[in-house]
Chains A and B, each alone.
Chain A
Amino acid sequence: MSRLKQFLRIKWLLTLRTYTRRKWEGVLALATIAIVALSALLFGFVTLFAARSIAEAPLRPLLSTTLWLATALLLLLPTLHLDIAGSLDLSQMLIYPLGARDFLLLALVDGAVSPSGVIMLAVIVPLTLAFARDALGGLVFIILLLLLFSFVVSLSQLIAVVAMRLKASRRFVNLFLAAFAILVIGGQFLAGYSGWGRGGSDQQVARLFAEHIPDLRLFWQHFTAVMHFTPPAAVAESYLGWVDLGVGHFLLWLLILLAGAGLTLGATGFVYFRLFKGELALAESPRVRKGARARFARKTAYSGSLIHWLPAGLVATMRKEWRYLWREPYIKTQLIHVLAAYAYLAAMLIGLAQKGGGDSFSRGWIYLGIVYFLGMFTAQRFANKFGLDAEAIEVTLVTPIPRWQVLMGKGLPYILLFALTNGVAALLGGVLFHISPLFIFCAGVLVVAHCPLVDAVGNLVSIYFPVALIPGRGRRLRPVRQQQGCLFLLLHGLALNAGHLLTLPVAGLIALLAWSGSWLLAAPLVALAVAYVYFVARWLLRLSVRSLAAREPQIATFMLTANR
């Protein structure tokens, strides 16, 4: 008993402190809980009003829908609050002399003593008032609701553990990102297509849905048929059976409810028992690949390849950045946004082509504008070169590598990546939509010119406006800026966009070439553009190296202390 008392006390304190650590977080959390609880209360009273005042009120669907919504709310809360270490990580309780049953009991109490419990109360009171015909009926109803609550608590604890486990899995994160990418890219494509398509409205999208998505009503019928046998619906059936249809009906649905609650409790018990026995770890266990040493020793040296001729520090930094590109979910997420931009612009081009409006010359200008926008979408990736390193920047800054190699090494992989992807996108777009070869050539020059300039400005932005990306809850990265406030954000935004301004002279030269329509001017104008990019990027790199030398200790201090 004293164990349970201590547990409740610490649970209460930790939950409270999670919400009161930062003032605005506490206010936000309280407001969220209050809104959800008040909505539940309001919903309960609306049900009460409907059940009492409408003579022919459809009580069965009314009650089961109310209970389903309450259940969904309660199940949603633990998934929104997955930071169990912030409130109480039950796996930490394993060091104490607890039995398996005690551990499971604590898990259930942990689920019950939470904001979910408050919300359940907010639902129970008006529902009981609405449906209890007499004292005995009220008692039966409350017992049924408590059974439902036990089902919800055990299911929510099961969801919390499974979600924690999934979040720790790198394979799941990759799958999630892939699904996210499909959704975002698909969404952007549809948005671009509906905005720029033939009809210029959402009608085409609606038609697309109507043609390809099966009848939703049929799906809904199947869905409700299955939902009819779930615990919340079973509570409604069972209670109304008690009131109207006799004991047999009541017992049948009570059995279904008990079976549902029992199965969930069993599954939760199984998962927590495995956790208790140490057979289920909340963190992913790393794959150990045998023969790592032999594989590394067998790797061929760089000699003979082009990369051999580059300075060692530059190669080391580029390799590290390249590996991070594939391994760091944060970068993948950023790249998904770039892909979404491609999707949107591709849809725009398809829409424009289908519209058939304008001659090939004016389509060419729109095409060049789109390619210019492609370059703008990539700027963000260059503007915070030390952020992802965060505290690990110490490893780089303690070495004597010339700083131009650090800056270039961090930028080059992305310059190559974006020059390639933007270039391929521009080429494909141009060929597919019958853009004249001169315009496609101009687009290619624009793509190649844009990246180094944005990167060069990105170096300065990274040095003067560092934003540390610190692992927060569940290793999700949270940005910490060197200075807070609107001025920092304003200057940061302005500096970030300076790179695009610097590309304007190149854009001017390209526009001149496109406007002239003459291949004869291509060589001199492109030579001018290349010279401009080379000198401006070189000058900015030198400036960045000097700035980094002056600000290096400040950047290191900021990165090393940003997590405090």
Chain B
Amino acid sequence: MENPEAHKQAVLISHLTKKYGKVTAVDNISLQVPYGEFFGYLGTNGAGKTTTIKVLAGLLPATYERIEIDGVSLKSEPLSVKARIGLMPEEPHLYERLNGYEFLEFVGGMYGLDGSPLRRRVLELMDLMDLAESGAKLIIDYSKGMRKKIALAAAIIHQPRVLFLDEPFAGIDTVTAHRLKDILRAWVRAGVTIFFSSHIMEVVEKLCTSFAIIHQGRVVYQDVMASVLARQDGKSLEDIFIEVAGTTVRDEPTEAVFAD
């Protein structure tokens, strides 16, 4: 018997365009991310990564033919989509006058969790993020790294099917980043799909199973990571990125900067 889930994609985007006034931030992109992928969404600053993620999370209006997350249409069932996803924005905007525990309790409540299961989950996540003892501080007093950690904890509190992470490792210390990478890999093995935006190629190379490169609002390259790693021409992901993103790299020696 055929599994009806088999044809569904975790993320399906068809002809998505987003304009800010006269500026086109995302230009007619179409993408498909199968279930269980650790999908890297790469691009230079201002390429349209964050805009795409915000549209997929239902936070930005845009024009598109079809967007489906976990098989659910964003257009017709936005709340159902929101129940299936977790979002960690690049710059987390948080309720700063709540403390860490209160904030996670709030977010858990917003996903319908309550009572003892919610409390257990909050404690688990605060331990995981190494925030347990600073949890009584108001978020307004958190450092940048702590804010990132609490935002990530909030994104996963309800164990979403699809997780959108916008530059998640920027500002997080090495130990926590290492721990998070292990957790994210384990989640992907468990069937969670991660849609991950970054411009740090080393991290993408290590974590992602497939990727797309967006440049000036258009998807200009899409491939699976295994084929990049198996390339015979010795080109790394960074080389491909620089090649397709059309970034001009200066060839002049940089030593001159440090010459006296």
Residues of A within 8 A of B (CB): 286-290, 292-293, 295-297, 299, 301-303, 308, 311-313, 315-317, 319-320, 323-324, 327-328, 389-402, 549, 552-554, 556-557, 560
Given contacts A301-B119, A400-B82, A401-B112, contact A323 B60 (CB under 8 A): no
**Residues in chain A near residue B133, CB distance under 8 A:** 288, 290, 292-293
Interface contact B61-A554, CB-CB below 8 Å: yes
Q: Which 7 A-B pairs have the closest CB atoms?
A: A316-B109, A286-B141, A292-B136, A391-B93, A400-B83, A399-B110, A553-B61
Q: Are B95 and A296 in contact (CB under 8 A)?
A: no
List of B residues within 8 angstroms of A400 by Cβ? 79-83, 111-112
| Chain B positions 110 through 124: 1 when the CB is less than 8 Å from some CB of chain A, otherwise 0 | 111111101100110
Q: Report yes or no: B137 in contact with A395, Cβ–Cβ below 8 A.
A: no
* Residues of chain B from 53 to 82 with CB closer than 8 A to chain A in the complex: 57-61, 78-82
Q: Can you identify 21 A-B contacts, CB atoms within 8 angstroms? A: A286-B138, A293-B135, A296-B123, A299-B119, A302-B114, A308-B115, A313-B110, A319-B102, A319-B105, A319-B106, A327-B97, A390-B93, A392-B95, A393-B93, A395-B107, A395-B110, A397-B59, A399-B82, A401-B110, A401-B111, A553-B59
Q: Tell whether A320 pairs with B58 under 8 Å between CB atoms, given A297-B123, A313-B112, A392-B95.
A: no
Which of B79, B93, B109 has the most A CB atoms < 10 Å from its CB?
B109
Minimum CB–CB distance from B253 to chain A (whole Å) comes to: 29
- 12 more contacts with CB within 8 A, not counting A288-B137, A323-B102, are A287-B137, A289-B137, A293-B123, A293-B127, A296-B101, A296-B126, A302-B114, A312-B108, A319-B105, A398-B82, A400-B83, A549-B78
Chain B residue contacts of A317, Cβ below 8 A: 106, 109-110
How many B residues, CB 8 Å from partner?
A: 50
List residues of chain A with CB within 8 A of the CB of B135. Answer: 292-293, 296
Q: Which residues of A contact B101 (CB under 8 A)?
A: 292, 296
Tell whether B42 is near chain A: CB-to-CB under 8 Å: no
* A324 and B140 alpha carbons, distance in the complex (Å): 13
CB nearest to A553 among chain B residues: B61
Decide if B170 is an interface residue (CB 8 Å cutoff): no
A315 near B83: Cβ-Cβ < 8 Å: no
Please name all residues of chain B whose beta carbon is closer than 8 Å to the beta carbon of A312 when the two chains form the complex.
108-110, 112-114, 118
Q: How far apart are the CA atoms of A295 and B79 in the complex, in Å? A: 34
In Å, the complex CA distance between A215 and B60 comes to 66
* Inter-chain contacts of B79 with A (CB < 8 A): 400, 402
Q: Which residues of A contact B137 (CB under 8 A)?
A: 286-289
Tell me the bound Cα distance from A200 to B122 in angstroms.
61
Given contacts A288-B134, A398-B57, A400-B79, contact A324 B110 (CB under 8 A): no
What A residues does B78 contact at CB under 8 A? 549, 552
Cβ 8 A contact of A328, one of B97, B123, B132, B134: B97
CB of B153 closer than 8 Å to a CB of A: no
CB contacts (< 8 Å) of A552 on chain B: these are: 58, 78
Q: Which of A293, A311, A389 contacts B95 (CB 8 A)?
A: A389
- Cβ contacts under 8 Å, B132 to chain A: 292-293
Contacts of A311 in B (CB 8 A): 112
Question: Which B residues are CB-close (under 8 A) to A315?
Answer: 109, 114
Residues of A within 8 A of B207 (CB): none
Answer whether A553 and B58 are a contact pair too, CB < 8 Å, given A292-B134, A320-B106: yes
Query: Taking CB as reference atom, which chain B residue is nearest A551?
Result: B61
0 or 1 for each of B148-160: is its CB under 8 Å from A? (1 = yes): 0000001000000
Main secondary structure of the interface of B (DSSP, over half): helix
Q: Do residues B105 and A316 form an inter-chain contact, with CB atoms below 8 A? A: yes
Distance (Å) between the CB of A519 and the closest chain B CB?
44
Which B residues lie within 8 Å of A553 (CB)? 58-61
CA distance A398 to B111 in the complex (A): 10
CA distance A490 to B120 in the complex (A): 50
Number of cross-chain contacts by CB at 8 Å: 139
For A391, what are the chain B residues with a Cβ–Cβ distance below 8 Å?
93
Contacts known (A316-B110, A400-B79); A301 close to B97, Cβ less than 8 A? no
Cβ of A319 and Cβ of B109 under 8 Å apart?
yes
Q: Considering the complex, give the chain B residue whose CB is closest to the CB of A324.
A: B97
Bound complex: CA of A210 vs CA of B93, how far in Å? 54
Most buried by A among B82, B99, B110, B141: B110
Residues of B within 8 A of A289 (CB): 136-137
Q: Which residues does chain B contribute within 8 Å of A389, judged by CB atoms?
A: 95
CB-based contact A398/B136 at 8 Å: no
Q: Could you say which of A303, A308, A324, A394 contacts B89, with CB atoms under 8 Å apart?
A: A394
B87 within 8 A of A: yes
**Smallest CB separation, A391 vs chain B (Å):** 4
Residue of B nearest to A303 (CB): B115
B135–chain A nearest beta-carbon distance, Å: 4
Known: A297-B123, A320-B106, A392-B96. A398 touches B59 (CB 8 A): yes
User: Which one of A301, A320, A323, A397 has the highest number of Cβ atoms from chain B below 10 Å of its Cβ?
Assistant: A320
Contact digits for B191-208, partner A, Cβ 8 Å, 1 yes 0 no? 000000000000000000
- Least Cβ–Cβ distance between B15 and chain A, in angstroms: 18
For residue B128, CB closer than 8 A to chain A, the reply is no
Chain B residues with CB below 8 A from A301, complex form: 115-116, 119
Q: How far is the CB of B258 from chain A (nearest CB, A)?
A: 19
Contacts of B138 in A (CB 8 A): 286, 327
A395 and B94 in contact (CB under 8 A), knowing A292-B136, A301-B115, A400-B111? yes
In the assembly, what is the distance between CA of A390 and CA of B95, in Å?
9
A547 to chain B, nearest CB (A): 14
Report how far A389 CA is from B61 CA in the complex, Å: 20
- Indicate whether B184 reaches chain A with its CB closer than 8 angstroms: no
Residue of A nearest to B104 (CB): A296
A316 near B108: Cβ-Cβ < 8 Å: yes
Closest residue of chain B to A283 (Cβ to Cβ) is B141
The CA of A324 and the CA of B127, in the complex, are separated in Å by 26
Q: Mark B9-27, 1 if CB is under 8 A from A, else 0.
A: 0000000000000000000
- Find the B residue at minimum CB distance from A554: B61
Closest to B61 in A: A553
Q: Check A560–B93 contact: CB distance below 8 A.
A: yes
Which of A286, A311, A399, A549 has the most CB atoms of chain B within a 10 A radius of its CB?
A399
Once the chains bind, are A557 and B134 in contact (CB under 8 Å)?
Answer: no
Least Cβ–Cβ distance between B3 and chain A, in angstroms: 25
Contact B87–A320 (Cβ < 8 Å)? no
Q: Inside 8 A of A395's CB, which chain B residues have their CB?
A: 93-95, 107, 110, 154
Residue of A at shortest CB range from B127? A293
Chain B residues whose C-beta falls within 8 Å of the C-beta of A299 in the assembled complex: 119
B110-A396 in contact (CB<8A): yes
Complex: A440 Cα to B83 Cα, angstroms: 48
Assess whether A392 is in contact with B106, with CB atoms less than 8 Å apart.
Answer: no
Chain A minimum-CB-distance residue to B81? A400
A328–B137 Cα distance when bound, in Å, is 15
Q: Collect the chain A residues with CB atoms within 8 Å of residue B109's CB.
A: 312-313, 315-317, 319
**B115 and A398 contact, CB distance less than 8 A:** no
